[in-house]
Amino acid sequence: MMSWITETRWSPYVVGAAIGVLSWLTLLISNKPIGCSTTFARGAGMLEKIFRGKRVDQKLYYQEVPPIVDWQFMLVIGIVIGALISALLSGSFRFQVVPDTWFAAFGANRILRIIAGFIGGIFLGFGSRWADGCTSGHGISGTMQLAVSSWISAICFFIGGILAAFFLFSLIA
């Protein structure tokens, strides 16, 4: 009877609807919309504190976004655990460095994939903090609140992403 919990994939409509309901609950219970990217800015501030100590708290950005563990930080840690549970239950957990689509286009070189991921991560972290949100904070939570800032951001995430992906896979690969 519980076979749905061990399935590898669920219908995107079921997953989407459940995420929609989850958005009701976070707003109702925690008074917060789902979001992720602020956590990485807080995390970077915590790491900087290891090297530079309390001076970090004086940076303008960290006065507005203090480097502390908050609700959203726990949410992001929860995502790792939730995905791990789901992957273990369905038997789809595996260690992998080079994803299949990358392998087909750019080959098996692990260092190349890690460097591309690192550079992509820099753009992603920089861009999400520039835009004040990511695919979850703007793309899901902000668009459903009908925020103009979030609709512009979400559309630009995909315009930039589609153009860059076509450039990468059509012209370089």
Interface positions, 101-120, toward other proteins (CB under 8 A): 101-102, 113-120
Q: CB of residue 2 vs other proteins: minimum separation in angstroms?
A: 14
Instruction: Identify which of residues 107 and 166 has a Cβ nearer to other proteins in the complex.
Output: 166
79 vs 91: CA distance, rounded Å: 18
Binder among 55, 66, 99, 108 for other proteins (CB under 8 A): 99
Told to check if 3 binds other proteins by CB under 8 A, we report: no
Query: Residue count at the site for other proteins (CB under 8 A)?
Result: 128
Phi, psi (deg, nearest 5) at residue 135: -60, -30
Other beta carbons within 10 angstroms of residue 62's beta carbon come to 19
Selected binder of other proteins within 1, 2, 3, 13 (CB under 8 A): 13
Please, what is the minimum distance in Å from the beta carbon of residue 5 to other proteins? 9
Is residue 26 within 8 A of residue 140, CB to CB? The reply is no
In this structure, are residues 133 and 150 in contact, taking their beta carbons and an 8 Å threshold? yes
User: Cβ distance 36 to 75 under 8 Å?
Assistant: yes
Binding residues among 50-79 for other proteins as defined by CB under 8 A? 59-62, 65, 69-79
Residue 39 Cβ vs other proteins, minimum distance, rounded to whole Å: 8
Structure tokens at 14: 């079921």
Minimum CB separation from other proteins for residue 26, in Å? 5
52, 48, 46: which is closest to 69 by C-alpha?
46
By CB under 8 A, name the one of 40, 50, 66, 108 that touches other proteins.
40
Nearest Cα residue to 15 out of 140, 150, 154: 140
Among 18, 52, 57, 66, binds other proteins (CB under 8 A): 18
The residues near 48 (Cβ < 8 Å, ≥ 6 apart) are 56, 67
Site string for other proteins, 135-164 (x = CB under 8 A): xxxxxxxxxxxxxxxxxxxxxxxxxxxxxx
Per rule CB under 8 A, is residue 169 in the interface with other proteins?
yes
